[in-house]
Amino acid sequence: MQRITIQSEPIDDQKPGTSGLRKKTRVFMGAHYLENFIEAIWQGIGGVAGKTLVLGGDGRYFNDRAAQVILRMAAASGARKIIVGQSALLSTPAASNLIRMRKTDGGIIMSASHNPGGADEDFGVKFNTPNGGPAPEDVTNRIFEATKSISSYEIIETQDVDLSKPGVTELAGMEIEIVDPVADYAALMRELFDFGAIRSLLASGFSIRFDAMHAVTGPYAKALLEGDLGASFGSVVNAVPLPDFGGGHPDPNPIWAKDLMDAMFGDDAPDFGAASDGDGDRNMVVGRGLYVTPSDSLAVLAANAHLAPGYAGGLKGVARSMPTSRALDRVAEAKGLDCYETPTGWKFFGNLLDAGKATLCGEESAGTGSDHVREKDGLWAVLLWLNILAARKQPVAEIMNEHWRTYGRNYYSRHDYEGVDANRAGGMMTVLRNSLAELPGKTFSGRTVEAADEFAYDDPIDGSRSEGQGIRIGFSDGSRAVFRLSGTGTVGATLRVYLETVETDPARMNRDAQEALGDVIAAAEAIAGIREHTGRSEPDVRT
Ligand code: VG1
Ligand code: CO
């Protein structure tokens, strides 16, 4: 066993995006690519010497190899200890929990989340800070700056560490503790929710289907839903994590979780359906014959969270990302709660959660979570839903209809244009940005623009400012269109167009969302010229 210094040079495309660095797996496997980024993390956090970190990933292709490299680099640079999930697996929320519970100096999560996995698909690496949350922009900026001046890195030359069983071992003087990835997370869930009530609900014949999409949540869902809560065997489907997620996109939405949608809309549909993504931080909720949009789900959870023991004392406040629908704001207003609007990405919720300003947070992209960890948490959202269903003893559809009658309904949809030429997408955003000043007062498809701006966020806790966070067009009737470019893709640009309109007429609560949004969709096209700029006549995905 030998500590060696490897000469390297800067690689110029290692800028972390919305959620860490994501690239094609083969790029990550290329010479020095992973190593340089890990070295940059060490530099960005002021060195890893003497520190304790958590390490785990979603099990995708290259997860096991990358874990060995990171362990050898951490040992070579003098880390004190690494707490690693068995077989290098940890869901993102479980990693966040471990970082917090063990009071570590942070952690490294190996995942490209909802992006597909495999040798020809995507891989990713993300650093989380000691509060358990994704590194905020000042840290990711420091990491990026470090990538620009790497000249060498240290690594131990040795055999692989056996991560197949829990236990303690060591590598060149660094302690390695291999933990069961599920145990601590499951214990936290038992504290937050009324497992007795959920168990009774399931025992009464209430049927569920949880689609783990061959990703990391499988073992967690099996243990909690079928184990603790007694859901019938087979309620959790696609439960074994596979390096290529069975060839699918582990992205829980009606397109990629079509099997679940078919089951929930078919004969003999279960009472409740849910899915999670590659790294277990997203959730999708479906009732029998009814898809619950993530924005609506967030609002329903905010309105009902007090029914779960962990939130019985009420919420300190709520927060949503800017493009997320304002269904949450309606609940907050009715309940007298502060409601914060942050840029896209979970890292922006961290300060609010740490400061006790918000208890519940969410994003339209199927992310919901609370102050129990500092990441969004797919299975947590599913358990909170089940707890609410157990307490209210009503079907999902009835809960949704009551919710809309009480608070109004924000019809919502996101249109994604994927793999667009990056110059064309950027060009569209530039033209749109330059037209913002002239838009107010103009009418498009019957909707009059009231306000048009580019979102910037001033963090109320640390005062940091984040600019260029999406263009928002507000119409006088409360409708809205938001445009932004994705920061998680690995090929070309993905344009996201977020569309929302408010309905308060009780007779119009059960319309098709695309139809209800027809005018807003047309107005968005007229304002931005999506077709002309991108050459696309239809979005690739509507969620
Ligand atoms: C997307 C979502 C964003 C989410 C991010 C990470 O980012 O829109 O809401 O926080 O993915 O989620 P973007 O920049 O592509 O729009 V995950 O489950 O990948 O950690
Ligand atoms: Co994810």
Note whether 293 and 376 are same-domain residues: yes
Q: Residue 470 is part of a domain; what is its CATH number? A: 3.30.310.50
Per-residue pLDDT, 18 = 83
Rounded-to-10 torsion of CA 332, 338, 341, 346: -90
pLDDT tens readout for residues 12-32? 999 998 889 999 999 999 999
**377 ligand 1 Cβ < 6 A:** no
Q: Residue 35 is part of a domain; what is its CATH number? A: 3.40.120.10
Neighbours of ion ligand 2 (CB under 5 A): 113, 277, 279, 281-282
Note whether 209 and 94 are same-domain residues: no
Report the distance separating Cα 237 and Cα 260, nearest Å: 9
Is the pLDDT at 502 greater than 90? The verdict is yes
- Helix, strand, coil abundance in the chain, percent, nearest 5: 35, 25, 40
Q: Which ligand is nearest to the CA of 494?
A: 1
Is the pLDDT at 105 greater than 90? The verdict is yes
Sequence-ordered list of residues with C-beta below 8 angstroms from that of 214, at least 6 positions apart, any chain: 238, 240, 241, 242, 245, 246, 248, 250
Residue whose CA is closest, atom 2 of ligand 1? 365
Report the distance separating Cα 541 and Cα 543, nearest Å: 6
Pocket residue to mutate for ligand 1, from 488, 491, 540, 543, most atoms within 8 A of Cβ? 488
- DSSP state letter for 129: -
Per-residue pLDDT, 487 = 81
Pocket residue to mutate for ligand 1, from 344, 375, 379, 498, most atoms within 8 A of Cβ? 344
Catalytic, out of 113, 370, 413, 479: 113
Note whether 333 and 422 are same-domain residues: no
Average pLDDT over residues 487-505: 91
Per-residue pLDDT, 99 = 98
The b-or-e profile of 74-86 (16+ CB within 10 A means b, else e) is bbbbbbbbbbbbb
Average pLDDT over residues 344-353: 95
Q: Which two tokens stand for residue 91?
A: 């869901």
CA of 79 to the centre of ligand 2 (A): 27
Note whether 442 and 335 are same-domain residues: no
pLDDT tens readout for residues 182-230? 999 999 999 999 999 999 999 999 999 999 999 999 999 999 999 999 9
Average pLDDT over residues 146-157: 97
- DSSP state letter for 345: S
Note whether 37 and 140 are same-domain residues: yes
CA of 159 to the centre of ligand 2 (A): 31
Confidence of residue 489 (pLDDT cuts 50, 70, 90): confident
Cα 521 to the center of its chain, rounded Å: 25
pLDDT tens readout for residues 416-450? 999 999 999 999 999 999 999 999 999 999 999 99
Confidence of residue 490 (pLDDT cuts 50, 70, 90): confident
Boundary (domain end) residue, out of 351, 379, 407:
407
Per-residue pLDDT, 207 = 97
Average pLDDT, the chain: 96
Least confident range from 110-124, 192-206, 480-494: namely 480-494
pTM (two decimals): 0.95
Note whether 205 and 130 are same-domain residues: no
Note whether 353 and 443 are same-domain residues: no
Classify the C-alpha dihedral 80-83-87-90 as positive or negative: negative
Per-residue pLDDT, 488 = 80
Atom of ligand 1 nearest to the CA of 17: 14
Note whether 131 and 239 are same-domain residues: no
CA of 111 to the centre of ligand 1 (A): 12
CA of 540 to the centre of ligand 2 (A): 20
Sequence-ordered list of residues with C-beta below 8 angstroms from that of 93, at least 6 positions apart, any chain: 185, 280, 281, 369, 373, 375, 376, 377, 378, 379, 380
Is the pLDDT at 492 greater than 90? The verdict is no
**350 ligand 1 Cβ < 6 A:** no
Per-residue pLDDT, 284 = 97
SS3 79: coil
Is the pLDDT at 1 greater than 90? The verdict is no
CB 125 within 8 A of CB 16: no
- DSSP state letter for 191: H
Average pLDDT over residues 84-90: 97
Angle between the N-to-C axes of helices 327-335 and 294-304, in degrees from 0 to 180, rounded to the nearest 10: 10
Q: Which two tokens stand for residue 246?
A: 């069975």
pLDDT tens readout for residues 329-345? 999 999 999 999 999 99
The continuous run of DSSP H or E covering 186 comes out as helix 183-192
pLDDT above 90 coverage of the chain, percent:
96
Query: Residue 505 belongs to what domain range?
Result: 409-542
**22 ligand 1 Cβ < 6 A:** no
**346 ligand 1 Cβ < 6 A:** yes
The b-or-e profile of 161-190 (16+ CB within 10 A means b, else e) is bebeeeeeeebbebebbbbebbeebbebbe
Return the ∠ at Cα 31 (arms to 25 and 36), rounded to 5°.
90
Please compute, for residue 83, the number of CA atoms within 13 A of its CA located in the half-sphere on the CB side: 23
Nearest Cα to Cα of residue 506 among 412, 400, 404, 410: 404
Boundary (domain end) residue, out of 122, 154, 179:
179
Note whether 402 and 318 are same-domain residues: yes
Note whether 400 and 427 are same-domain residues: no
Q: How many residues does the chain have?
A: 543
Average pLDDT over residues 149-154: 97
Is the pLDDT at 140 greater than 90? The verdict is yes
Note whether 379 and 261 are same-domain residues: yes
SS3 274: strand
**365 ligand 1 Cβ < 6 A:** yes
Note whether 389 and 486 are same-domain residues: no
**363 ligand 1 Cβ < 6 A:** yes
Classify the C-alpha dihedral 324-325-329-334 as positive or negative: negative
Average pLDDT over residues 126-143: 95
The number of folded domains in the chain is 3
* String of DSSP letters for 355-366: TTS-SEEEETTT
Angle between the N-to-C axes of helices 137-147 and 33-44, in degrees from 0 to 180, rounded to the nearest 10: 130
CB 318 within 8 A of CB 340: yes
CB 272 within 8 A of CB 396: yes
Beta bridge partner(s), residue 485: 495
Average pLDDT over residues 495-500: 98
Per-residue pLDDT, 432 = 96
Boundary (domain end) residue, out of 149, 179, 209:
179
Does residue 113 have an active-site annotation? yes
Atom of ligand 1 nearest to the CA of 112: 19
Rounded-to-10 torsion of CA 395, 369, 499, 333: 80
pLDDT tens readout for residues 223-280? 999 999 999 999 999 999 999 999 989 999 998 999 999 999 999 999 999 999 999 9
